[in-house]
């Protein structure tokens, strides 16, 4: 990814900003140029809910290059309270404790490190709701 693009997209990476179609009201994430429901190009940014529930999940035990030290880790399909579905890592929980319907909330965490330069990238992940 180019440096200018990285900085342009930083607010979407950190703040869970999706888009809403002004014609049909559909909200979605990640951002798109056209509404996936009705095909409209009349879209506006919207802040997504930071809480939701796990719909489905998998445990990654054989990760891709660069993520070996994080294994095993959980990647889940999460339905946010506003109905938008998002794919994210679930942290602060053992893989065997994750279950369908588990309430989760967004948190800001390290996503990866660039091995050669040591640059650390941050982004959203989800954790069980702290009551």
pLDDT at 63: 92
Residue 125 has which token pair? 């992940």
pLDDT at 111: 80
pLDDT at 96: 96
Task: List, for residues 37-51, the tens digit of each pLDDT value.
Answer: 999 999 999 999 999
Read off φ and ψ for residue 47, nearest 5 degrees: -80, 125
CB atoms within 10 A of CB 6: 11
Taking the C-alpha atoms of residue 9 and residue 5, their distance in angstroms, rounded to an integer, is 6
The pLDDT profile of the chain, 131 residues, written as one tens digit per residue, is 566 666 566 666 677 889 999 999 999 988 889 999 999 999 999 999 999 999 999 999 999 987 888 899 999 999 999 999 999 999 999 999 999 999 999 998 888 777 676 777 778 899 999 87
pLDDT at 23: 96
> Are residues 112 and 66 in contact, defined by beta-carbon separation less than 8 angstroms?
yes
């Amino acid at each position: 990814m180019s440096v200018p693009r990285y900085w342009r997209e930083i607010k979407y990476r950190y703040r869970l900003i999706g888009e809403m179609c002004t014609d049909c009201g559909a909200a979605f994430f990640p951002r798109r140029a056209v509404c996936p429901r009705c095909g409209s190009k009349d879209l506006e940014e919207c802040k997504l809910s930071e809480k939701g529930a796990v719909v489905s999940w998998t445990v990654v035990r054989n990760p891709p290059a660069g993520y070996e030290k994080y294994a095993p880790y959980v990647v889940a399909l999460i339905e946010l309270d506003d109905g938008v579905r998002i794919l994210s890592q679930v942290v602060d929980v053992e893989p065997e404790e994750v279950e369908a319907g588990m309430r989760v909330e967004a948190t800001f965490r390290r996503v990866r490190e660039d091995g050669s330069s040591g640059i650390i990238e941050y982004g959203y992940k989800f954790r069980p709701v702290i009551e």
